[in-house]
A and B are shown apart, each in its own frame.
Chain A
Amino acid sequence: MRGYPARRRCVISQAIGESAQTIVAVHQLAKTFRVGFWARPVAALRQVTFEMRRGESLGYLGPNGSGKTTSIKCMLGLIAPSAGQVALFGRPPSDPLARARVGFLAESPYFYDYLTPNEVLDYVAKLYGIDGPTRRKRSRALLGQVGLDHAAHRPLRGFSKGMLQRVGIAQSLIADPELLVWDEPLSGLDPVGRNEVRELMGELRRQGKSLFFSSHVLSDIESLCDAVCILDQGVAVAQGKLTDLLRADALESVAHLGLPDDGGAALLALQAVPLSHWEPLADGQRVVLPTAQVAELCRVAVQAGATLRELNPRRDSLEQLFLRKAVTRRQDSVGSPA
């Protein structure tokens, strides 16, 4: 079994795939490629660790060249990791039984251009050991679902990128997999196509499928995922539930304070709290302050007779979170000794 000596196979499931709810477990994954004449080492992935639970929709986010596709290839056994482990359903990815439960869509999928969509689906279904009548029935249904029923008998040679993407989606669904691994599923699609695929992804989630998909388009991830793993230069810079991550990174809060009739004294007292910004409102003050100072603001406000009418953490967008994490990591790596 590629990359995993026999002795290690059972250890993998014990070490990282032990939970029935954990369907993907990536532990300290690293990949170094040798490039050029002198086989110069280039680290594509460094100690990437994340988990994915059943029914979850996990967005794998990162700029171009951050290592998303390399990690997906490690997850599916196309590349052997230099270090670390990957488990799909508690098994190493080199185990065909693990891959039988996965539907994979490659970035810019390529198929045999002399085949028709029907023939592609038939070929792929045979690899999953699906019987003839079921193959035909599912092919028809899936091609209808992705809007290719009109082109089911045309060779792929004349297909546009968007149509090929749809064939790719259909073939990834042919065996009704529990886990879908889609690499940049929305790339190459026109706005209508993007919307249709987004709707399909929503439908698959409602059916209980687990969805792992990579993208560098943050709005796609934000609208479709409940968990993210952010990758930058081969390093996982943030991971977890999207709501938790954005909340945890809510560094500022916004408060709406009602002032007593003698507002001047209260205002003077509030100035003792380090506020980032404040602005007068008709019925009080709107202040922006570091979340760490919220407790102090509450204490001072009570003492000064002010009323705390509203307090909200200022929620980052995924874009802000991503930029901050990536920039922080890059600054750290520049500052740290080689």
Chain B
Amino acid sequence: MSAPHTTASGVVLRTSGPLAALLRMSAVASNTVREAGRAKLFYGLLGAAILLLAFSIVLSDLALVDQKARLVQSFGLAVIPLVCVATATLMGGLLLHQELDRKTLYAILPKPIARSEFLIGKFVGMAALLGIELGVLVLCWWGVLHLRGGTLTGALVRAFGLAYVELLVVTAVALVFSALSRPVLAGVLTLGVVVVGRTNYVLADLLAATKGVFVEVPAMRSLGKLLVAVVPDLSTFAVADPVLQGWVVPWAYCVSAALYGAAWVAACVVAAALLFERRDFT
């Protein structure tokens, strides 16, 4: 570890080494949580999700007695990841833009922090905020489920765990677009990745078919292959259907899906860091 630098009046500065880098990134991350946690958009989405979960109480009344808990389960597994993905898409696109728009970046980047550290700090902060959002929603949903006589099984916990990995991937993708373009465009592009990523398996099936536009038109075939290759397969993390049908999602699958997500997160953060590194802040 590098030696700290002591200034003329005896202030000790620890700017080198992994611990100092961690402190800087954690400072940026905690400020990101604080900043994003004050956004009306965040509370709007959270409130909407809580209302939808409350609505599932009414909906479950319409179900057969032995299906009430199952309806709450399927409702939660559909609504919670959807709202969290919306948060990741919209707020992820704003992550860097707000810093530029409010010129707060000019006060931070001239300090001894590498741009990549700043970017990782922003990502970690956003990931923490999404974790909080997911946690709050799952707690609310668990309450509703308990009211309807359901229980929180290990399979459900694993499903939400994989949903969180998906959120991290979406946030990392939003970070790349945020480093590259304006927030609206970043949001639209991230949404595009989410839609294509969620239906990636459909595209793969169409490419493997014996006829159809993705087989017969060479340009479409090339486009389809490109999309399958460059867009993360978000359907990997969507295990709601098998869980609701009572299938067991094995731990091995969860681990491999988490590793797949981690690889995408790493690739996106590196790409965003490279783009951010070359950017002029005029």
User: A residues within 8 Å of B by Cβ?
Assistant: 2, 33, 70, 73, 76-80, 96-97, 99-102, 104, 106, 108-115, 123-124, 126-131, 134, 138, 168, 171, 175-178, 181, 207-208
B79 CB-CB contact with A under 8 Å = no
Contacts of B107 in A (CB 8 A): 104, 106, 109-111, 124, 168, 171
Give the contacting residue for B11; candidates A2, A108, A110, A138; CB below 8 A.
A138
In the complex, the answer to whether B23 meets A126 with C-beta atoms within 8 Å is yes
Contacts of A109 in B (CB 8 A): 106-107
Contacts A97-B15, A102-B110 given; does A129 touch B104 at CB 8 Å: no
| Residue interface mask B170-181, A partner, CB < 8 A = 1 | 000000000000
Main SS at interface, chain B:
loop
Q: How far is the CB of B113 from chain A (nearest CB, A)?
A: 5
Q: Mark the stretch among B30-38, B52-60, B151-159 that contacts chain A.
A: B30-38
The residue of chain B having its C-beta at the shortest distance from the C-beta of A102 within the complex is B110
The residue of chain A having its C-beta at the shortest distance from the C-beta of B111 within the complex is A127
In the complex, the answer to whether A127 meets B38 with C-beta atoms within 8 Å is no
The 8 closest A-B pairs by CB, nearest first: A129-B14, A96-B112, A126-B27, A100-B112, A176-B7, A110-B103, A104-B110, A76-B110
Task: Give bound CA distance, A115 to B104, whole Å.
Answer: 12
Contacts of A106 in B (CB 8 A): 103, 106-107
Within 8 A of A (CB), among B91-150: 102-104, 106-115
> Can you add 18 more A-B contacts, CB < 8 Å, to A99-B111, A110-B104?
A78-B106, A79-B282, A80-B278, A97-B112, A100-B112, A104-B110, A106-B106, A108-B103, A113-B102, A115-B34, A123-B27, A123-B31, A127-B108, A128-B13, A128-B111, A175-B13, A176-B7, A176-B9
In the complex, the answer to whether B109 meets A78 with C-beta atoms within 8 Å is yes
9 intermolecular pairs with C-beta atoms under 8 Å apart = A78-B106, A78-B281, A97-B112, A126-B23, A127-B112, A128-B15, A130-B14, A134-B11, A178-B7
Task: Give bound CA distance, A114 to B262, whole Å.
Answer: 33
Contacts A78-B280, A129-B20 given; does A96 touch B114 at CB 8 Å: yes
Most buried by B among A76, A80, A130, A168: A130
B8 CB-CB contact with A under 8 Å = yes
The residue of chain B having its C-beta at the shortest distance from the C-beta of A33 within the complex is B282
Task: Give bound CA distance, A127 to B21, whole Å.
Answer: 9
Q: How far is the CB of A34 from chain B (nearest CB, A)?
A: 10
Contacts A110-B106, A111-B104, A175-B7 given; does A127 touch B31 at CB 8 Å: no
Q: How far is the CB of B274 from chain A (nearest CB, A)?
A: 11
Most buried by A among B23, B107, B108: B107
Contacts of A178 in B (CB 8 A): 7-8
Within 8 A of A (CB), among B1-23: 4-5, 7-9, 11-16, 20, 23
Task: Give bound CA distance, A150 to B235, whole Å.
Answer: 55
Give the contacting residue for A114; candidates B26, B34, B277, B278; CB below 8 A.
B34
Instruction: Give the interface residue-count category, chain B.
Output: 35 or more
The residue of chain A having its C-beta at the shortest distance from the C-beta of B27 within the complex is A126
B24 CB-CB contact with A under 8 Å = yes
Task: Give bound CA distance, A211 to B252, whole Å.
Answer: 60
Contacts of B14 in A (CB 8 A): 129-131
Task: Give bound CA distance, A208 to B8, whole Å.
Answer: 10
Q: How far is the CB of B272 from chain A (nearest CB, A)?
A: 15
Contacts of A134 in B (CB 8 A): 11-12
Contacts of B24 in A (CB 8 A): 126-127, 129
Give the contacting residue for A176; candidates B8, B16, B104; CB below 8 A.
B8
In the complex, the answer to whether A96 meets B113 with C-beta atoms within 8 Å is yes
Task: Give bound CA distance, A97 to B114, whole Å.
Answer: 10
Contacts of A70 in B (CB 8 A): 282
Q: How far is the CB of A7 from chain B (nearest CB, A)?
A: 18
The residue of chain B having its C-beta at the shortest distance from the C-beta of A137 within the complex is B11
Contacts of A208 in B (CB 8 A): 8
Task: Give bound CA distance, A289 to B16, whole Å.
Answer: 61
Give the contacting residue for B281; candidates A79, A101, A138; CB below 8 A.
A79
In the complex, the answer to whether A129 meets B282 with C-beta atoms within 8 Å is no
In the complex, the answer to whether B110 meets A77 with C-beta atoms within 8 Å is yes
Q: How far is the CB of B39 from chain A (nearest CB, A)?
A: 11
Task: Give bound CA distance, A76 to B111, whole Å.
Answer: 9
Contacts of A168 in B (CB 8 A): 107
Task: Give bound CA distance, A114 to B104, whole Å.
Answer: 12
Contacts of A128 in B (CB 8 A): 13, 15, 111-112
Contacts A123-B27, A134-B11 given; does A73 touch B108 at CB 8 Å: no
Task: Give bound CA distance, A128 to B12, whole Å.
Answer: 9
Task: Give bound CA distance, A106 to B107, whole Å.
Answer: 7
Give the contacting residue for B104; candidates A73, A112, A175; CB below 8 A.
A112
Most buried by A among B14, B23, B35, B280: B280
Task: Give bound CA distance, A138 to B38, whole Å.
Answer: 28
In the complex, the answer to whether A99 meets B9 with C-beta atoms within 8 Å is no
Contacts of B34 in A (CB 8 A): 112, 114-115
Contacts of A108 in B (CB 8 A): 103
Contacts of A171 in B (CB 8 A): 107
Within 8 A of A (CB), among B35-88: 35, 38
Contacts of B278 in A (CB 8 A): 2, 80
Q: How far is the CB of A322 from chain B (nearest CB, A)?
A: 26
Task: Give bound CA distance, A78 to B102, whole Å.
Answer: 15
Task: Give bound CA distance, A77 to B110, whole Å.
Answer: 7
Q: How far is the CB of A246 from chain B (nearest CB, A)?
A: 32
Task: Give bound CA distance, A149 to B112, whole Å.
Answer: 26
